[in-house]
């Protein structure tokens, strides 16, 4: 397995990337990873590295790309909005198309990265299939969750919350920015995220999708029934995998990567 770090010129910032490649018997299939945000990105990193290595062992390449202002890429989040990250995914895809001859590119997204992957794949040509892991379906619900988690962390750290969810929303409206996990987020960022709603997107241009749900629940969560219905209406070949394991993107310590990796490798065969 070959592991090659480098930077991609994203137009607005240099994007740190790591390409994982098999040493031989390359299948010409490449996975472009779309990571989650904030603490979820940190919790997911080891699992994604493990997955990239296992994919390389089976002949597939993977590109781990840090979106601008995330990880080791340049920039500050408060200077960007999610549509800029779609440009970064396009830069990653362009890099792969230059590196390989007619690669079969798949997008793999976790949480908010999955929402970005869906937006990108429905607007651009050249994506063979999608893997969505616990995707964000509705932006407003995701923001409410982010603010609620900030409130809980303040309670655990300081013994009391410095502000409630309504006060945080008011601060964002007044100052035009808000600190989330040490990252300053702009009101423009929040406005774009709020507009995300997979239920309003046309998925008919997609061909094949794997939806992975990590939850103690043994049936599909209602929010993911939206994706199931949209894929049915758009004639998308959808496979759903219900994994009754804790979400790796929530893990504080070592997360279980084996179950997710096995699921994805089996789907790739």
Q: CATH number, domain at 245?
A: 3.40.50.1820
What per-residue confidence (pLDDT) applies to 161?
A: 60
What per-residue confidence (pLDDT) applies to 82?
A: 87
Same domain, 164 and 107: no
What per-residue confidence (pLDDT) applies to 264?
A: 97
Distance from the Cα of residue 112 to its chain's centroid: 5
Residue pair 260/48 in contact (Cβ under 8 Å)? The answer is no
List Cβ neighbours of 93 (8 Å cut-off, separation of 6 or more).
Answer: 32, 105, 124, 126, 127
Task: Output DSSP code: residue 66.
Answer: P
Residues 72, 75: Cα–Cα separation, whole Å: 9
Number of domains comprising the chain: 2
Same domain, 38 and 159: no
Of 177, 195, 213, the last residue of a domain is 195
Number of neighbours of residue 108 by Cβ within 10 angstroms = 26
Same domain, 241 and 128: yes
Residues 177, 183: Cα–Cα separation, whole Å: 10
What per-residue confidence (pLDDT) applies to 231?
A: 96
Residue span of the structural domain in which 187 resides: 139-195
Same domain, 61 and 175: no
Of 195, 222, 240, the last residue of a domain is 195
What per-residue confidence (pLDDT) applies to 164?
A: 63
What per-residue confidence (pLDDT) applies to 185?
A: 80
Residue pair 117/31 in contact (Cβ under 8 Å)? The answer is no
What per-residue confidence (pLDDT) applies to 75?
A: 87
Please list the ranges in the chain whose pLDDT falls under 50: none
Same domain, 220 and 171: no
pTM: 0.92
């Amino acid at each position: 397995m070959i592991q090659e770090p480098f930077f991609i010129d994203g137009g607005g910032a240099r994007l740190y990337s790591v390409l994982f490649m098999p040493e031989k018997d390359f299948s010409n299939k490449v996975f472009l990873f779309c990571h989650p945000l904030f603490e979820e990105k940190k919790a997911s990193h080891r699992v994604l590295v493990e997955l990239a290595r296992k994919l390389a062992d089976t002949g597939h390449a993977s590109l781990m790309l840090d979106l601008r202002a995330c990880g080791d890429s340049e920039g500050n989040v408060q200077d960007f909005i999610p549509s800029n990250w779609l440009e970064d995914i396009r830069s990653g895809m362009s890099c792969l198309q230059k590196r390989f001859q007619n690669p079969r590119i798949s997008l793999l997204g976790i949480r908010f990265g999955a929402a970005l992957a869906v937006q990108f794949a429905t607007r651009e040509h050249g994506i063979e299939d999608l893997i969505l892991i616990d995707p964000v379906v509705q932006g407003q619900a995701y923001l409410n969750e982010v603010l609620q988690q900030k409130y809980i962390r303040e309670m655990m750290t300081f013994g009391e919350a410095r502000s409630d969810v309504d006060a945080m929303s008011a601060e964002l409206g007044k100052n035009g920015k808000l600190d989330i996990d040490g990252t300053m987020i702009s009101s423009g960022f929040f406005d774009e995220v709020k507009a995300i709603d997979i239920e309003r997107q046309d998925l008919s241009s997609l061909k094949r999708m794997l939806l992975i749900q990590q939850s103690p629940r043994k049936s599909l969560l209602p929010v993911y029934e939206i994706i199931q219905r949209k894929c049915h209406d758009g004639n998308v070949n959808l496979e759903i995998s219900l994994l009754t394991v804790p979400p790796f993107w929530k893990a504080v310590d070592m997360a279980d990567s084996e179950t997710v990796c096995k699921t994805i490798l089996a789907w790739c065969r």
